[in-house]
Amino acid sequence: MAAITRFSKPLALSHIRRCLCSSSAAAAVSDESNPHVTSPFGNYKITRRDPSERNVQWVFLGSPGVGKGTYASRLSNLLGVPHIATGDLVREELASSGPLSKQLTEIVNQGKLVSDEIIISLLAERLEAGEAKGQSGFILDGFPRTINQAEILEGVTDIDLVVNLRLPESVLIEKCLGRRICSQCGKNFNVASINVKGQNGNPGISMAPLLPPSHCMSKLVTRSDDTEKVVKERLRIYNEKSQPLEDYYLNKGKLMEFDLPGGIPESWPKLLEALNLDDFEERQSAAA
Ligand SMILES: Nc1ncnc2c1ncn2[C@@H]1O[C@H](COP(=O)(O)OP(=O)(O)O)[C@@H](O)[C@H]1O
């Protein structure tokens, strides 16, 4: 087990059980005293608990390609909470050829955002399934992506911390274009070798490729929305719709900005330090 210096208590979770989302943030506020106010999460009640009595509820923000999935997934292993990436939920829905799949394919392949109704219903379904398996707490990656989504989330549960990962835009494009997924095991890799020189007082950045083991090599696929045109559109939409979330959470005193200093070997220990966490297992294996 990894030793965690900051969160020593085993914690329980506030639940989000089912949802029928209203697209209006105004409707996000659940008002138990007024039965006429509709919650975006439908008829389900959310239990708000003191953070000391439940597991962590964190959000990861950051542009496409910044590495939210990588670091959120590592932290979820360390903290024992599920890593819930709404992009993965969307891709699972696409692959399922369910009723939404055709509509979603078009939206995703244009780099556009899926509607709040659909994304919140996918998220609520995932949280409900996790709850049935006894999961508690979460690290959200890719949600919220708009102020409306953030207000809806705020209306139903408490977020403890929002980590905003940052990289220069030129690196983000290269990283998205280098992304590969093993079609068999589902693991993510990156074939891009990044070497950006420091400019205008900003430090240079180097990232070694994250290459797959030989048995995954022939099974690598590229996400259909990782083409240069779609990546640029996703970055444009991120800057327009998601960047305002930084101020939103800053004003709530929940934002932690983190400029990635390089690839995983440089960034992971620094991120743990910033979060006041200790990856005991990793230190042990490094020392062995
Ligand atoms: N919270 C969300 N709101 C709307 N659409 C979303 C959301 N999360 C994911 N999506 C859809 O899924 C796609 C892939 O998401 P993701 O894997 O998070 O990509 P990215 O690499 O751009 O961060 C997005 O381009 C968008 O169409």
ipTM of the complex: 0.97
Query: How does pLDDT run across 191-214, given as a tens digit for each residue?
Result: 999 998 888 887 889 999 999 999
Highest-confidence range of 61-70, 97-106, 124-133, by mean pLDDT? 61-70
The pLDDT of residue 283 is 65
Q: How far is the CA of 238 from the centre of ligand 1 (A)?
A: 10
Query: How does pLDDT run across 209-230, given as a tens digit for each residue?
Result: 999 999 999 999 999 999 999 9
Task: Check pocket membership of 123 for ligand 1, CB cut-off 6 A.
Answer: no
Task: Check pocket membership of 150 for ligand 1, CB cut-off 6 A.
Answer: no
State yes or no: cis peptide before 51, omega within 30 of 0: no
Report the pLDDT averaged over residues 272-277.
Answer: 94
Q: How far is the CA of 87 from the centre of ligand 1 (A)?
A: 4
Name the residue with the closest Cα to ligand 1, atom 1.
143
Handedness of CA 151, 153, 156, 157 (dihedral sign): negative
Matching residue, tokens 């934002």: 255
Q: Which of 274, 251, 288 is CA-nearest to residue 71?
A: 274
What CATH class is the domain 25-167+241-273? Answer: alpha beta
- Assess whether pLDDT exceeds 60 at residue 177: yes
Query: How does pLDDT run across 131-141, given as a tens digit for each residue?
Result: 889 998 999 99
The pLDDT of residue 178 is 96
pLDDT band at 286 (very low <50, low <70, confident <90, very high): low
Task: Check pocket membership of 63 for ligand 1, CB cut-off 6 A.
Answer: no
Q: Alpha carbon 111 to chain centroid distance?
A: 17
Handedness of CA 90, 93, 97, 101 (dihedral sign): negative
The more confidently predicted of residues 53 and 203 is: 203
pLDDT band at 282 (very low <50, low <70, confident <90, very high): low
The pLDDT of residue 198 is 83
Q: Which residues are catalytic?
A: 68, 145, 179, 223, 234
Q: CB atoms < 10 A from the CB of 178, how many?
A: 19
Task: Check pocket membership of 119 for ligand 1, CB cut-off 6 A.
Answer: yes
- Using left for φ > 0, alpha for ψ between -120 and 50, and beta otherwise, residue 163 falls in beta
Provide the percentage of residues in the chain whose pLDDT is more than 70. Answer: 81
What is the full DSSP assignment across 46-94? -----GGGB--EEEEE--TTS-HHHHHHHHHHHHT--EEEHHHHHHHHH
